[in-house]
Amino acid sequence: MQPLIYYKEIDVIFMKALLNGKPVDVWEISKTNEQPDWVKKAFAENYLYWLDNRLRILMCGLNPSMKDNLKVGAVGTVGGGFCGYAMYPVGYIGDFIDATNHKLLSKKQFYKKYQIIEK
């Protein structure tokens, strides 16, 4: 298990990760750590929404891929705009969002499957 990278200035977690040797966009759910641009955009467009200390996530809105969304029937008239079951998973502080692969992972799952890249 590799540690997260902490910088001195403030309590901010910067992280890049690999899954099966390929880079992925990940974010540790937190109200206090820095948010990458894709997370800020997702909050602005209500794809991410705080419900007390839980985070409601519209997965098909994160880094949308036409190919992936067609697979689950989440695109326009082709699929009727429905993202399928588990459309709004709920994450908790400390969980991880993999926006590249549209996955929500516990801390344990994340450290088991992903490799952290140092900046």
Whether 33 contacts 12, CB under 8 Å: yes
Count CA within 13 A, CB hemisphere, residue 85: 0
Instruction: Name the one residue in this structure whose structure tokens are 């977690």.
Output: 13
Q: What is the mean pLDDT of residues 44-70?
A: 76
Our CA angle for 30, 54, 88, nearest 5°, is 115
* pLDDT of 51 above 90: yes
- Is 118 or 57 the better-scoring residue by pLDDT? 57
- Mean pLDDT across the stretch 14-18? 77
Give the residue from 51, 38, 31, 44 showing the smallest Cα distance to 98.
38
**The one-letter amino acid at 111:** Y
Q: How confident is the model at residue 110 (pLDDT cuts 50, 70, 90)?
A: very high
pLDDT value of residue 118 = 58
Do residues 47 and 56 lie in contact, with contact meaning Cβ atoms separated by under 8 Å? no
The answer to whether the CB of 100 falls within 8 A of the CB of 36 is no
